Amino acid sequence: MRRRCCAGATGARCDGAAAERVPETSHDAMNILLICALDVWSLDQGKGAPTLERTLRAYGEAGHRIDAIVPDIGANHFYRGRGRDAAPETRPEIPNVRFHAFHMPGLRDLPLPGELPAPIEKIDQKLRFAIAFPWFAAKHAEQLLHAGDVQYDAIYAYEAHAVLAARLLRRRGIRLPLVTRYQGTVMYPALKDTLLYYRRFEEALALKTPASLIIMTDDGTQGDEVLAKLNPASKGRVKFWRNGLDLDRLQPAPPVERAIARADLEIPERAFVMLTASRLATWKRVDRAVRAMQRVRTWLPDALLLVVGDGEERARLEALARDLGVAANVRFAGAVPQRDVLRHMHAADVFLAVADLSNVGNPLLEAMACGMCIVAVDAGDTRDLVADGRTGRLVDNSQRSGFVKTLEDRLADLLVALAGDAPQRERLAAAAAAYAKEHFWTWEQRMAAELEAVGALVAAASARASSGAMETRGSDG
């Protein structure tokens, strides 16, 4: 296991002790021009990952001005159905945050008969955000920069498509400090796969972009190693941090709360309940949990898999459950508001994380903080948090010849064993909660660290500009 601290060098990871030493942000109010290709909430208001909303709110409530350039419908927008009448999200009202939305043209705008074939929709989405978005976003950013109404202190490019827009601004002579922010990366497998690398070339190009400060989320996708490989000049400018959590709210459930949660969700008290919580995307591999249920239910007929989240794969997963004959044992809860995810965690016996790239996203962190028994596929840096037999159980995802059973069958056997071993579940859950309490940041701590880093960057740039102006005046004299 790699040992990392919270200090701010490349590869630095936060822990609880270090988090307590985050200094109070005392820099002057900043004016930030933010570019982002995403909806604030990927699954509608208050549903889905909270990271972007938390970031905007932290800056705004600290008194910093954010002008956010965004598309009317984001790259992470979940289209319910195949219709073309998708409405832009209702963006949250946040103090000092102004959204400047523009329309992103695409094939959906054309008066074509019928629906677009799914492959054409994917190509359209790829071209719109890899090529069109950077150009349109850079154009709108230039308009704000040249309007002169606000003197911006920095450009903040949130995720890869926004970084490509920032590259265009740099080519056009804009020299403001640049902060780039990534919510993890899908590039690690592509480092050894040339074809995959060029399929994800826009993200590779973004990660190679020089920046004054790079904030990479430590979500287990090994973003620190990807940056070291693709952008070695970034060394010393990278903050490799986990997201924060609402640790005051995320607490283990006493028996009474567990019983109330089960009653509210109409779950039998004696049922063995497994929970997944994520966007239903292909790479999340929720199909593994559904497939495992076929074997689990032969031993535990009343077992229930709760699937919290929504996304492009939901219809396929529902069909899979029907085809396998486990539809009665799999409940699709859909997109659940953040405040209600806790109720589902309190009602479940085991939290499942079964993705390919990594399983260290916020849902797993929240489950650990809630004192859940964790079962995760060993992918990416998952084992840095889930120590097999201590803070959870790991399922090997390799295809070694020594394995006679499929991953899904091995997962099912482990779940059946845990169902019959309440003391082991309780021991793993307690250890997970203790680890979370010691090592995880609150959102306030996480964002305080970022505001301090960005504030220091802006202050240093301002000092250099003032020094240069004084030297110029001195030479003129």
Cβ neighbours of 393 (radius 10 Å) = 23
Cβ neighbours of 318 (radius 10 Å) = 16
| Position 151 in a domain | yes
User: pLDDT per residue over 332-365, tens digit each?
Assistant: 999 888 888 999 999 999 999 999 888 888 999 9
| Position 215 in a domain | yes
452 — phi, psi (to 5°)?
Answer: -65, -45
Highest mean pLDDT of the ranges 72-86, 111-125, 294-308, 377-391 = 294-308
* Residue 93 shares a structural domain with residue 122: yes
* Residue 261 shares a structural domain with residue 395: yes
Q: Do 86 and 106 touch, CB atoms closer than 8 A?
A: no
* Residue 320 shares a structural domain with residue 264: yes
Instruction: Give pLDDT, residue 12.
Output: 44
| Position 122 in a domain | yes
The domain spanning residue 356 has which CATH number?
Answer: 3.40.50.2000
* Residue 240 shares a structural domain with residue 297: no
- SS3 state at 407: helix
Q: What is the CA radius of gyration of the chain?
A: 23
User: pLDDT per residue over 75-99, tens digit each?
Assistant: 887 665 544 556 777 889 999 999 9
E strand segments, 46-131: 65-71, 97-102
* Residue 413 shares a structural domain with residue 304: yes
| Position 89 in a domain | yes
* Residue 125 shares a structural domain with residue 236: yes
Lookup: tokens for 20: 């307590």
pLDDT-derived band at 474, boundaries 50, 70, 90: low
| Position 143 in a domain | yes
* Residue span of the structural domain in which 123 resides: 16-244+442-473
- Number of separate domains in the chain: 2
Distance CA 131, CA 109 (A): 17
| Position 5 in a domain | no
User: pLDDT per residue over 429-449, tens digit each?
Assistant: 999 999 999 999 999 999 999
* Residue 216 shares a structural domain with residue 203: yes
* Residue 435 shares a structural domain with residue 446: no
| Position 310 in a domain | yes
pLDDT-derived band at 371, boundaries 50, 70, 90: very high
* Residue 338 shares a structural domain with residue 457: no
* Residue 293 shares a structural domain with residue 409: yes
pLDDT-derived band at 203, boundaries 50, 70, 90: very high
* Residue 215 shares a structural domain with residue 195: yes
Distance CA 347, CA 267 (A): 8
> Which of 261, 274, 460 minimizes the C-alpha distance to 349?
274
Distance CA 321, CA 364 (A): 24
| Position 414 in a domain | yes
Distances (CA, A) of 200 to 43, 187, 203: 24, 7, 6
Confidence (pTM): 0.89
The number of angstroms, rounded, from the C-alpha of 345 to the middle of its chain's C-alpha atoms is 19
pLDDT-derived band at 125, boundaries 50, 70, 90: confident
- Sign, CA torsion 363/432/442/256: positive
* Residue 413 shares a structural domain with residue 464: no
